[in-house]
Amino acid sequence: MIYTEKRKYLNYLVEEYSDMVYRLAMARTKEKENAEDVYQEVFLRLSKKIPNFESTEHEKAWIIRVTINCSKNILSSKHLKHNVELKENIYDDNTVPDKNDEANDLYCVVLDLPLKYRTVIHLFYYEGYKIEEISKILKTKENTVKSWLSRARERIKTKMEEGAKNE
Amino acid sequence: MNKKGEFDKYIKSMNKVEVGDKMKKDVLNKIRPKQKTRYNWFPRLGAATVVVALMLAIILPLGMERNTEEGQLAVLPTIDSFENLQALLGHEGSDFGRSRFNDDHIFAIGGPMDDAVVSESDGIRSSRESTTPDHSTTNIQVEGVDEADIVKTDGNYIYYISNSRIVIIDASDPKNLRIASQIEYEWRETESFSPFNIYLTNDKLVVIGTRWEERGDNYWLDLETFTPEVDVISTREDSVELTIVEEPIHRGRRHWWGGNVYTVARVYDIRNRDNVRLERVVEVEGEHLTSRMIGDNLYLVANQNIRTYRFDIYPIYELSEDAFKPSYRDTAVGEGIRRVDFSYISYFPDSISNSYLNIIGFNINNNEKANVESILGGGDIVYCSGNNLYVTRTTFEHRDSIVAEIVTGDGRRMDMRTHIYKFALNNSEATFITSGAVPGRLLNQFSMGEYNGYFRVVTTDNDRGWWSPEHDMNNVYVLDMNLDIVGRVEGLAPGESIFAARFMGDRIYMITFVEIDPLFVIDVSDPRNPIVLGELKIPWFSTYLHPYDENHLLGIGEDVELVNGWVLTNGIKLTLFDVTDESNPTARHYEKIGGRGTHSEVLHNHRAFLFSKERDIIAFPITITEDWRWEPTFVGVVVYGLDLDGGFTLRGKITHMPSNNRSWVDWDREIQRILYIGDSLITVSRGMVMSTDINTMQEIDSLEF
């Protein structure tokens, strides 16, 4: 679809990509507050410069890149301020979508992973990107993405098993 | 855990993470395109042009002539968007900017940087009218256009930069020199300020310097956070200008300290000299090129390199747009950093540079906001006439020699061109007016001059490149106020290059040199038809020409001798040129000082020169060596007198070196400048100030600091 008006196009972008941006931001920053900041920043940047997208896929990948970068900036600045890797305990209202839902355990385990691991997990399983695509988005070698993915899976597996034992 | 289905729970949970309508509305409100109101000169001019164009369309058919003067200004496009900036720099037309202002250059800060040099005062610099004693001022090029220097005096106090601090010396009693106060600058690891020049007005002291700041410590953060496990780190990006550890392109680890460099003016209230007070800080991004002060209006000129290497490493959407805009700060209107929008930055489609030329101007006596003008360009040499500021930038373009030979038959391999950017100065606002270009390169600020509505420039051109000086030739160009060439003399002194020039009214005096030194006298009274009136050949050269009176010029340069076909310098040479008969100039008097290895800052910096015709003083710092011995025999200043009939006489020498020590030189005692206040000569070195009686040449007092 071709939008002749910038305003309409922005409306479309917000409508289409809000959830995607916010979820990825959440997966990366773990905190609602941060994710909201990232969300706003992403669309602010988009509004400043809208590239000519070749396709919807291009558009989506672009926005994912911007989200990754924005969240990185937020993480860096928070890191600088507090000198700690954000909050350790993620099991609270701010993060978990529905705290009464027992199915949140995996969500919490994923969010507990190091940043790059939870990013590839999110892109691979939630957004459904292929390894090749992820490597392009992250500008990383495919092998690197593969190893991150497998290490992430291993960690999740260990964590889940530990969790099962404890119960 | 490796089947996709196992992540259903994650997907389920994540699906509950949703953006509410309110959030969407908020963000839409924020990003909705707004009608921008622009108050900037360029867009306004753009509008003016439309009107002009319309009028022309109506008037032209009636046979009226078009006034080109205004139409020219508006043609220049502006960058407008980040994408366009990147596109422009991606197809950089000239290799000049990239090599000249690359990022490593950032480390050049800290030491005092030499100003670009420029031309044209009446030369007689003595006191201003005031109740304070008669005193000297900085030797400048153009009357009324002050140039910054490491020392200034108001007749009672001396303000001097010594080893990165400002020393204020009470010299009202030459028998009792006293330090009134000092300003020191703290060196911090992430930020530092290095002062290297000052300006002085009645109750203000302005310290010009460079501030460098590291933007946060993400450099270390990056290493700690990312290096341990990861082989390639290419996803990293930061909106703030920081270090990049980039491995994909260069082998090994290279760090860029993406710190920012600012050219800074710190304005101090000095009404109470014992307790000076910082009043205002104005700074603009970029490396200091030069500055000028006209009345109360101060202009700083800076070159800001654009970090184009980031374009090669990162796609555009990863880069922070703001980091690529020129930034500035003025504490009179707030502490925050402001940025110049791309829509206000014009560029030259046929000469793209990967640096910005930033000029910030402000009135030091009021608190009106500083004005910034940025263009995509860069500068080497600056000349200021008072009403206009000219910034030049020399570019070299190689031609395909075979094609050139076939097409032109002259075997020309290289185009050496000097672009001239002209800015109008008006109440602390510098406004870009137009640009022009001449063949060749410029020596320094004295190679240019504006007079009677024309801009004149002398250049050394070479169609083969630097490595074959035998192909040098020298040219004089006269340009009109739109910087179009209207008159020229080309091909002067083939095989030689310009060593010095001075513009005095309708005359241009120019020294070229290889083995013998011709002085050219050029008449530019008819701008369309400049002519060489006379030339003088002498076996030495001058690098600085100073007007003595209307018929005489002082030349300071070096004596030379020919040894086995080599031209070797052999001491400093003072020359008095007599140009009474302009078709037959003569070297009326000359004086040789020292032997081979003798050096003086005045050879390349006119501000080290003290001259007063009334006081009969010709003085400058000097390090004298005899016969190329490494130990100097004298380090200090020489003071000469000049009699038109009798020639130069040495009135005396002043040194700060302890007399009992001749085996080594304490460089903190190397005199940097000489001034006079009343009947005292004042000399300053990094560690000492001394007063000397102007008549007896005896030391009166000295003070170490």
The H or E element spanning position B674 is: strand B671-677
What is the average per-residue pLDDT within B68-95? 60
φ, ψ (nearest 5 deg) of residue A50: -105, 110
> Bridge-partner residues for B557, per DSSP?
B542, B573
Q: Does B317 touch chain A (CB under 8 A)?
A: yes
For residue range B238-269, what is the model confidence (pLDDT) as tens digits? 333 333 333 333 333 334 445 678 999 999 99
Measured between alpha carbons, how far is B57 from B182 in angstroms, rounded to an integer? 64
Q: Does B490 touch chain A (CB under 8 A)?
A: no
From the list A73, A96, A156, the residue facing B1 with the nearest CB is A156
Residues of chain B with pLDDT > 70, as a percent, come to: 73
**Higher local confidence (pLDDT), B171 or B224:** B171
Residue B197, pLDDT score: 92
Contact predicate B380/B393, CB 8 Å? yes
Structure tokens at B444: 């320094």
CA nearest to A63, candidates A76, A75, A74, A50: A50
* Chain-chain contact of A121 with B10 (C-beta, under 8 angstroms): yes
Over 90: is that where the pLDDT of B641 sits? yes
Residue B593, pLDDT score: 92
- pLDDT mean across residues, chain A: 79
φ, ψ (nearest 5 deg) of residue B434: -165, 175
For residue range A41-81, what is the model confidence (pLDDT) as tens digits? 888 888 777 777 777 788 888 889 889 888 887 777 665 44
Task: Name residue B594's amino acid.
Answer: G
Which positions in chain A touch B29 (Cβ < 8 Å)?
A: none
- pLDDT mean across residues, chain B: 75
* Chain-chain contact of A125 with B26 (C-beta, under 8 angstroms): no
Strand residues in chain A grouped as ranges (E): none
Model-level pTM greater than 0.80?
no
Q: Does B406 touch chain A (CB under 8 A)?
A: no
Q: Does B32 touch chain A (CB under 8 A)?
A: yes
Residue B349, pLDDT score: 74
Distance, CA of A156 to chain centre: 17
Q: Does B312 touch chain A (CB under 8 A)?
A: no
Specify the range with the lowest mean pLDDT, choosing from B348-352, B603-607, B654-658: B348-352
Measured between alpha carbons, how far is B6 from B1 in angstroms, rounded to an integer? 6
Question: Cα–Cα–Cα angle for B150, B154, B158, nearest 5°?
Answer: 45
Terminal alpha carbon distance of chain A: 52
Over 90: is that where the pLDDT of B638 sits? yes
The H or E element spanning position B636 is: strand B634-643
**Higher local confidence (pLDDT), A81 or B696:** B696
- State the pLDDT confidence band at A5, using cuts at 50, 70 and 90: low
Q: Does B22 touch chain A (CB under 8 A)?
A: no
For residue range B30-56, what is the model confidence (pLDDT) as tens digits? 777 654 333 333 333 322 222 222 222
* Chain-chain contact of A19 with B315 (C-beta, under 8 angstroms): no
Measured between alpha carbons, how far is B451 from B120 in angstroms, rounded to an integer? 10
* Chain-chain contact of A103 with B13 (C-beta, under 8 angstroms): yes
Q: Does B36 touch chain A (CB under 8 A)?
A: no
- State the pLDDT confidence band at B230, using cuts at 50, 70 and 90: very low
Specify the range with the lowest mean pLDDT, choosing from B39-43, B211-215, B594-598: B39-43
Give Cβ neighbours of residue B72 (< 8 Å, ≥ 6 apart): B434, B482
Over 50: is that where the pLDDT of A142 sits? yes
Structure tokens at A109: 């385990």
Over 50: is that where the pLDDT of B289 sits? yes
Contact predicate B246/B237, CB 8 Å? no
Which positions in chain A touch B26 (Cβ < 8 Å)?
A: 40
Question: Cα–Cα–Cα angle for B276, B282, B284, nearest 5°?
Answer: 145
- State the pLDDT confidence band at A83, using cuts at 50, 70 and 90: very low
Contact predicate B455/B469, CB 8 Å? no
The H or E element spanning position B455 is: strand B454-461
Reading across the β-sheet that carries B540-549, which strands appear in turn?
B540-549, B552-563, B566-578, B586-593
**Higher local confidence (pLDDT), B627 or A123:** A123
To the nearest whole Å, the CA of B477 is away from the closest chain A CA by: 45
- State the pLDDT confidence band at A95, using cuts at 50, 70 and 90: low
From the list B2, B12, B24, the residue facing A153 with the nearest CB is B2
Which positions in chain A touch B18 (Cβ < 8 Å)?
A: 19, 22
Hunting for tokens 């005692």 — which residue is that?
B669
